[in-house]
Copies of this chain bind each other. A is one copy, B any other.
Amino acid sequence: MSEPATKFLLGEDAIPTHWVNLLPELPGEPLPPLSPQTGQPAGPDDLTPIFPMGLIAQEVSSEPEVPIPGPVRDAYKLWRPTPLYRARRLEQALGTRARIFYKYEGGSPAGSHKPNTAVPQAYENAQAGIEKLSTETGAGQWGSALAFACTLFGLECEVFMVGSSYDQKPYRRSMMETWGASVHRSPSELTAAGRAQAEHPTGSLGIAISEAVEVAAGDPRCNYALGSVLNHVLLHQTVIGQEAIAQLELAGAGMPDVIVGCVGGGSNFAGLVFPFLRAGADCRIVAAEPAACPTLTRGVYSYDYGDTVGMTPLMPMYTLGHGFVPPPVHAGGLRYHGDAPMVCALVKAGRVEARAYRQNETFEAAVRFARSEGIIPAPEPAHAIRAVIEEASDGDEKTILFGLCGHGHFDLAAYDAYLAGKLEDPVFSESDLEAALAALPEAPAI
């Protein structure tokens, strides 16, 4: 009765009515994407073959807020608002003076934050008369989310799933098929891009993106959908941070001293962090990534392709080179050579601090979290948990907020390997970087 609260819930009325667009207030010079054909700034016309105008308008919008369409907000009600938790049992287990809060997105039907953008993407495409979406998926979280969103709006869905994840997580495929999608192991024989990458049997997000873009570019009924990196994707995720601000208020905690998120393409991180930046939060911000694919901590800041083959516009970002195929670590959602340009600009400006963690120390943190808080985290946010434990161990009194962007129900083979002491722990090799960077496209220095 008088026990302190653990969970801070909001009613459906508190689902945000607008997304927060941070583009107009990013630090540094605005750096446009460049056409892969001409090397000139890419405009909306470069995107129309694979994206609907509704999303292109969001991609380039300079409005500080973008309204959320009614049918999207209505679909959000299936799982939003998501809960904010105070991690009291973890705090106790750590013996920390820090107050730890986490925003949990794993309660969505697909099990992560990804439906926040899958739903508006499916909606805008359906509005534009498109009948089918193609996409890639790493860990399977994004593919599941898009399959779910497509079934809500009556679209077909075709997913290229990164080979290593396809093998590790067969039930992610079944989940997508249950929602009616068709799923292929990437690299596949179905596309020229896939056939050209047969020497990388475990695949990568970059390769799978090339395959999905090729399918969309060749079929007028079909558009392409991306689960991270692009401005409009990050925009859609800002429902997370907006709710978190209201919930911290409810908890009597006010603004946090530190915000921590994991970064693969950057969308869950941005979704949590951007609304706090808009609100002028004077806090430290930490981005956690895997040591096997340390884009923000070891990459170079340069224009590069978003995919492996070089079909997408060139984007300004930290990159390990579009040819880099990360080792098949279990955090499949973090196996990406680049990162969202908006997140990279904040790292470049020093506003966001990046840290890389090994796979075993990450799973150690995940098991610790599971045994105190109950929820089994996906390997991706386990990187954030690892950083939070570090932050909470300096003896200081402070408020930490982190994003628990998904559950690990489809990642238990990795937990199995960790508990058996059989988890490989690859680390990034300098020679890999040299080879990959040598293949960077010609583009203006930034």
Contacts and interface: CB of A to CB of B under 8 A. Distances in A.
B409 A171 contact: yes
A111 B17 CA distance: 31
Interface string A89-125: 1000000000000000001011100000000000000
A178 interface: yes
B179 A371 contact: yes
A104 to B, nearest CB: 10
Interface string A269-287: 0000000000000000000
A129 B79 CA distance: 40
B9 A9 contact: yes
Contacts of A376: 109, 175, 178
The number of times this chain is found in the oligomer is: 2
Given A3-B73, A78-B6, A373-B78, A416 B12 contact: no
A74 B3 contact: yes
A148 B373 CA distance: 10
A1 interface: yes
Contacts of A89: 152
A236 to B, nearest CB: 17
A413 interface: yes
A370 interface: yes
A177 interface: yes
A73 B7 CA distance: 13
A348 to B, nearest CB: 38
A374 interface: yes
A415 interface: yes
Interface in A399-446: 409-410, 412-413, 415-416, 419
Contacts of A111: 409
A77 B371 contact: no
Nearest to A74: B3
Contacts of A174: 412-413, 415-416, 419
A152 B148 CA distance: 34
Given A77-B3, A376-B175, A107 B107 contact: yes
Nearest to A80: B7
A367 interface: yes
Contacts of A6: 12, 74, 77-78
A174 B174 CA distance: 19
Contacts of A152: 89, 374
Contacts of A175: 376, 409, 412, 415
Contacts of A77: 3, 5-7
Interface centre among A5, A179, A376 (most CB of B within 10 A): A376
Interface in A356-403: 367, 370-371, 373-376
A70 interface: yes
A151 interface: yes
A178 B3 contact: no
Contacts of A178: 367, 370-371, 376, 412, 415, 419
Interface of A: 1, 3, 5-7, 9, 11-12, 17, 70, 73-74, 77-79, 85, 89, 107, 109-111, 148, 151-152, 171, 174-175, 177-180, 367, 370-371, 373-376, 409-410, 412-413, 415-416, 419
7 contacts: A3-B74, A7-B12, A7-B77, A107-B107, A109-B376, A171-B171, A175-B412
Those 9 A-B pairs whose CB atoms lie nearest each other, nearest first: A109-B374, A174-B412, A171-B412, A6-B77, A409-B409, A174-B416, A3-B74, A151-B371, A178-B415
Given A3-B73, A178-B412, 7 more contacts: A1-B73, A89-B152, A171-B410, A171-B413, A174-B416, A178-B415, A178-B419
